[in-house]
């Protein structure tokens, strides 16, 4: 069965970076893009962008494009999301999801990132 398992919760100081991993199993990793979604406390879901797991191409939401980087390790079937210059407003749960254009069919369990001095 398809599973996306994300790394554990992180606590970071303002100005730092965080890197969240998303390990896929149950399907051919390179056949689907991985999407990233943020959910701040009490807020809705917010799309951050995607990485094409077949060729590494990326697309970032304008809101995040100057601070976020998506990478992957196909040998480990793992995608990564790195967010830099963290501020308190970045405190959120970050989700990865498998792209099944035009929707997202399987999601990771989420990674809570807390930004606090």
Q: Which of 21, 33, 35, 77 binds other proteins (CB under 8 A)?
A: 35
Retrieve residue 67's tokens: 């601070």
When the beta carbons of 54 and 110 are compared against other proteins, the nearer one is: 110
**Span interacting with other proteins, options 9-17, 18-26, 66-74, 99-107, rule CB under 8 A:** 99-107
The CA distances from residue 26 to 29, 31, 68, 91, 98, in Å, are: 9, 12, 27, 30, 12
Q: 59-71 b/e with 16+ CB inside 10 Å = b? A: ebeeebeeebbbe
Q: Say if CB 80 and CB 58 are below 8 A apart.
A: no
Shortest CB 77 distance to other proteins, Å: 17
Q: Is 102 in the site for other proteins (CB under 8 A)?
A: yes
**Span interacting with other proteins, options 10-18, 19-27, 78-86, 104-112, rule CB under 8 A:** 104-112
* Region 45-64 residues binding other proteins, contact defined as CB under 8 A: 45-47, 49, 59, 61-62
């Amino acid at each position: 069965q398809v599973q996306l398992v994300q790394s554990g919760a992180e606590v970071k100081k303002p100005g730092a970076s965080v890197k969240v991993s998303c390990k896929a199993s149950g399907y051919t990793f390179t056949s689907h893009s991985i999407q990233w979604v943020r959910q701040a406390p009490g807020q809705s879901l917010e799309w951050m962008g995607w990485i094409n797991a077949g060729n590494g191409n990326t697309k970032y939401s304008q809101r995040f494009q100057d601070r976020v980087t998506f990478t992957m390790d196909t040998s480990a079937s793992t995608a990564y999301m790195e967010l830099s210059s963290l501020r308190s407003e970045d405190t959120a749960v970050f989700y990865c999801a498998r792209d099944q254009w035009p929707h997202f069919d399987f999601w990771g369990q989420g990674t809570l990132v807390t930004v606090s001095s």
